[in-house]
Amino acid sequence: MKIDVLTLFPEMFEGVFGASILGKARGKGLVKLGTVNFRDFSNSKHGTVDDTPYGGGGGMVLKPEPLFAAVESLTEGRTSGSRPRVILMCPQGERFTQRKAEELARESHLILICGHYEGYDERIREHLVTDELSIGDYVLTGGELAAMVVVDAVVRLLPGVLGNEASASEDSFSTGLLEYPHYTRPADFRGWKVPDVLLSGHHERIAEWRRRESLRRTLQRRPDLLEKAELTDKDRRWLEE
Ligand code: ADE
């Protein structure tokens, strides 16, 4: 997979793309991560990328030309293959979820666009992008942090990125539920004991305990998730207890 981020602040991505799991995935050639400064595609000699809004009002609006040219520079010359998803990071976008991360992880090329201004010229929304994504109901100073969130959540799903293949399919949200509690040594820490069942070596009982704890935690913290989760009859009986 290839992911290109269009931003006026490519330096913000240096640490995130180079460190930890993303850095390793890149090193192993599992993903190509790039940044493009779309100011380089400005059609003015001063590198202007924004302008005042037609109709008046405060704030600046990102002009269409630099963003169209930057996206086209990444797609021109391509003769075959699927078209890239061109994703605009903005608070008005569709809410980013684990399901969306799974969908994007199946693509071969993503282009993420980050703005730092009041808004985007509407023609960018209408004719350049395929998706608009928001990472939550709050307003950031720009789309960069949101793009980092999306890249991180997508890349960790790519085959070979996580050491333990089971870890992505079992974590919170992939099952539709929150994760069960985890414990490691010591079995007794300051008198706080690890549940006996986890020390029992009885795999079936452990699996049952984990499922029940996942359900309990989801019911307590995110009951909304239970509506969409795939539940067995046994799960439903536990929830009713
Ligand atoms: N840009 C500013 N705020 C944002 C948000 N919540 N999600 C995505 N992009 C943004």
**pLDDT for residue 24 is more than 90:** yes
In this prediction, residues 49-64 reach a mean pLDDT of 95
The atom of ligand 1 lying closest to the CA of 141 is 2
118 in catalytic set: yes
pLDDT of residue 117: 67
Average pLDDT over residues 34-42: 97
Q: Give distance in angstroms: CA of 50 to centre of ligand 1.
A: 18
For the domain 2-155, what is the CATH code? Answer: 3.40.1280.10
Extract the tokens encoding 30: 């599992």
**Rounded to the nearest whole angstrom, what is the distance from the C-alpha of residue 181 to the centroid of ligand 1?**
31
pLDDT of residue 84: 96
Res. 129: pLDDT tops 60: yes
Model confidence at 90: pLDDT above 80: yes
Annotated binding-site residue numbers for S-adenosyl-L-methionine: 115, 135-140
pLDDT score of 79? 66
For range 114-118, the mean pLDDT: 82
Task: Locate 137 and state its tokens.
Answer: 């109901």
Inform me whether the pLDDT recorded for 154 exceeds 70: yes
pLDDT at residue number 82: 77
Ligand 1 atom with minimal separation from the 137 CA? 6
Q: Is-same-fold flag (2-155; 172-240)?
A: no
**ipTM for the whole complex:** 0.98
- Mean of the pLDDT values across residues 9-37? 95
89 Cα: distance to centroid of ligand 1 (angstroms): 6
Distance CA 238, CA 212 (A): 7
Phi first, then psi: give them for residue 155, nearest 5 degrees: -65, -35
Mutate to test the pocket of ligand 1, among 7, 113, 116, 135 (most ligand atoms within 8 A of CB): 135
Averaged pLDDT, 87-97: 97
The reported pLDDT for the residue numbered 80 is: 63
Which residue's CA is the nearest one to ligand 1's atom 5? 91
Query: What is the spatial distance between Cα 69 and Cα 51, in angstroms, rounded to a whole number?
Result: 17
pLDDT interval class at 116 (50, 70, 90): confident
Yes or no: domain 172-240 corresponds to CATH 3.40.50.740:
no
The percentage of residues in the chain with a pLDDT greater than 70, rounded to a whole number, is 95
Query: Chain-wide mean pLDDT for the chain?
Result: 94
pLDDT at 165 exceeding the cut of 60: no
CA of 240 to the centre of ligand 1 (A): 39
Residues 122-146: what's their mean pLDDT?
97
Least Cα distance to 213 among 233, 240, 238 occurs for 238
Please report the atom of ligand 1 found closest to the CA of residue 139: 3
- Taking the C-alpha atoms of residue 30 and residue 24, their distance in angstroms, rounded to an integer, is 9
In this prediction, residue 57 carries a pLDDT of 92
Choosing from 26, 39, 125, 156, the catalytic residue is 156
Give residue ranges with CB within 6 A of ligand 1. 89-91, 134-136, 138-140, 143, 146
Instruction: Label the pairing between strands 188-189 and 192-193.
Output: antiparallel
Q: How does residue 169 score in pLDDT terms, banded at 50, 70 and 90?
A: low
Confidence of residue 167 (pLDDT cuts 50, 70, 90): low
Clarify whether 222 is annotated catalytic: no
116, 142 Cβ separation under 8 angstroms: yes
Tens-place pLDDT, residues 191-232:
999 999 999 999 999 999 999 999 999 999 999 999 999 999
Q: Where exactly are the structural domains of the chain? A: 2-155, 172-240
Instruction: Write out the DSSP string of the chain.
Output: -EEEEEES-GGGGHHHHHSHHHHHHHHTTS-EEEEEEGGGG-SSTT---EEPPTT--SS-EE-HHHHHHHHHHHHTT--SSPPPEEEEEEEEEEEP-HHHHHHHHT-SEEEEEE--SSEE-HHHHHHT-SEEEESSSS--SSSHHHHHHHHHHHHTTSTTSSSSTHHHHHSTTTSSSPPPP---S-SEETTEEPPHHHHS--HHHHHHHHHHHHHHHHHHH-HHHHTTS---HHHHHHHH-
Dihedral (CA of 19, 21, 22, 26) sign: positive
Structure tokens at 230: 């795939």
Q: Which of 65, 102, 107, 118 is catalytic?
A: 118
At 75 the pLDDT is 93
CA of 193 to the centre of ligand 1 (A): 42
**Average pLDDT of span 106-117:** 93
